[in-house]
Amino acid sequence: MLLRHLLVAVLLLSMVGCNEKNENTIATVNDKKISSEQFAAFLRFKRVPENDEKRKAGLLEQYLEREALAAVIEKKGLLDNNLIQAELNEFKKEMLISRYFEKYLDKQVTDQAVTNYYNTKASEYEQKKAHVAHILIRLNKTMSEPERQAKLTTAQEAYSKIRSGEDFAKVAETYSEDTISAKKGGDLEWMKEGSVDAHFSQTIFSMKVGDVSEPFETPFGFHIVTLIEAPQVVKQPLKAVAGDIRYQLRNQAKKAEMERLLAEMKIKK
């Protein structure tokens, strides 16, 4: 083992000498010359820093052994060499295409490109939101008409209590079958326009602060809603949407570059 480490050390030193003499062969494995450029590329593949001599020494030993082992196995003729070459070729093509687009898209879709898109498409990242609360009396598709009417009666009863002066939050705690919001007096917090059922959204965004709607139906059941705070237009911060923008721009850039590359192709059958 000591002898092998000494051999590796000598080889590493010879790499320096070879570079000085413009001779790049660092070893010969079964009559195959191994160049310093080949090993240097291998080190880049393994992400080994140039100044990490200890790791370089260990990897050189492994590299040469595997080169020698592969060469010996190849000569045995036990494996289908054409099949292996086909597999290698497919892997090479896959890697070339993947690595090319990875590098190309990193250059094309920069942080500045994302910021520029965000600034020029500002309206796309604005949302209209309203602070609302509701009381929900749930329905389901299996209910009979009498059961449905009983639910409507319950919703109308809750609405009557609010109209007679009872606090909306207290009524919501008692009547609402949306157990999560009921614990908060029916508060749904800030809701984006169009994020729920269209009828629900239209009702909310046509109300004035403090208004209470009559019971109305959506696929979820009967609702009574109140507007707590008036609608506001809120712009999403760049940080919140940068990932989506980058994904969109990369897809667009990849599609355009793919079309350009396909136009350069020449295929004859």
Residue 120, C-beta contacts closer than 8 angstroms, at least 6 positions apart: none
The model carries a pTM of 0.56
The DSSP output letter for 125 is G
Q: What is the dihedral of CA 6, 9, 14, 17, to 10 degrees?
A: -130
Q: Can you give the residue ranges of every domain in the chain?
A: 2-79, 108-122+237-264, 127-235
Residue type, 106: D
Secondary structure element (H or E) that encloses residue 236, with its range: none
Question: What is the CATH number that goes with domain 127-235?
Answer: 3.10.50.40
From the list 130, 128, 129, 121, the residue with the least C-alpha distance to 244 is 121
Q: CA-CA distance, 177 to 154, in Å (whole number)?
A: 11
Instruction: Report residues of the chain scoring pLDDT below 70.
Output: 1-23
* pLDDT for the residue numbered 23: 58
- The pair phi, psi for residue 104, each rounded to 5°, is -60, -45
For residue 16, what pLDDT is reported? 44
Distance, first Cα to last Cα, the chain: 56
Q: Which of 259, 265, 257, 260 is nearest to 107 (CA)?
A: 257
**CB of 197 closer than 8 Å to CB of 218:** yes
Backbone angles phi, psi at 171, to 5 degrees: -65, -40
Q: What pLDDT score does 176 carry?
A: 97
The residue type found at 188 is L
Rounded distance between C-alpha atoms, residue 222 and residue 138, angstroms? 6
